[in-house]
Amino acid sequence: MENKSWTRIIKTDKNQRSRIAELSVRNKKIVTPLFMPVATQGSVKALSSDDLINVGTQCLLSNTYHLYLRPGLDVLKKFGGLGNFMRYPKAILTDSGGFQVYSLSRLRKITEQGVHFSSHIDGSSHFFTPEKVIDYESAINSDIWTHLDVCVKNPPQYSEAKEALRKTKLWAKRSIDHFKKITQEAEEKPKLMAIIQGSIFKDLRKEAIEYATELGFDGFALGGLSVGESKKQMFETLDYIMENIPKDRPVYFMGLGDPVDIWMATKLGVDMYDCVLPTRNARNGQALTTYGKVYIKNAQYKNDDTVLDNECDCYTCKNYSRSYISHLYKSGELLSHRLLSIHNIRFLLKQTDMMKKAINEDRFDESFNEFLNKYNQK
Ligand SMILES: [Zn+2]
Number of neighbours of residue 212 by Cβ within 10 angstroms: 26
Domain identity same for 78 and 135: yes
Q: CA 371, CA 264: separation in Å to the nearest integer?
A: 11
Is 304 known to be catalytic?
Answer: no
Catalytic residue among 13, 95, 261, 309: 95
Domain identity same for 219 and 360: no
Number of structural domains (the chain) is 2
For residue 27, the domain's CATH number is 3.20.20.105
Q: What is the pLDDT of residues 94-147, one digit of tens each?
A: 998 888 887 877 768 999 999 999 998 998 999 999 999 999 999 999 999 999
**Order of strands, edge to edge, in the sheet holding 125-128?**
106-110, 115-118, 125-128
Q: 190 C-alpha vs ligand 1 centroid, how far in Å?
A: 33
Is 353 known to be catalytic?
Answer: no
Domain identity same for 255 and 335: no
Domain identity same for 241 and 172: yes
Q: Which of 91, 95, 170 is nearest to 130 (CA)?
A: 170
Domain end marker among 275, 296, 319:
275
pLDDT of residue 107: 66
Q: 307 C-alpha vs ligand 1 centroid, how far in Å?
A: 8
Domain identity same for 291 and 266: no
Q: What is 290-309 written as a DSSP string?
A: TTEEEETTSGGGTT--S-S-
Domain identity same for 241 and 98: yes
pTM given for the model:
0.96
Domain identity same for 327 and 257: no
Q: 346 C-alpha vs ligand 1 centroid, how far in Å?
A: 6
Q: 331 C-alpha vs ligand 1 centroid, how far in Å?
A: 21
Q: What is the pLDDT of residues 223-276, one digit of tens each?
A: 999 888 999 999 999 999 999 999 999 999 999 999 999 999 999 999 999 999
Q: 249 C-alpha vs ligand 1 centroid, how far in Å?
A: 32
Domain end marker among 256, 275, 294:
275
Q: 295 C-alpha vs ligand 1 centroid, how far in Å?
A: 14
Domain identity same for 84 and 223: yes
Catalytic residue among 261, 271, 274, 309: 274
Domain end marker among 234, 249, 275:
275
Domain enclosing residue 242, as ranges: 3-275
Q: 369 C-alpha vs ligand 1 centroid, how far in Å?
A: 22
pLDDT at 68 over 70: yes
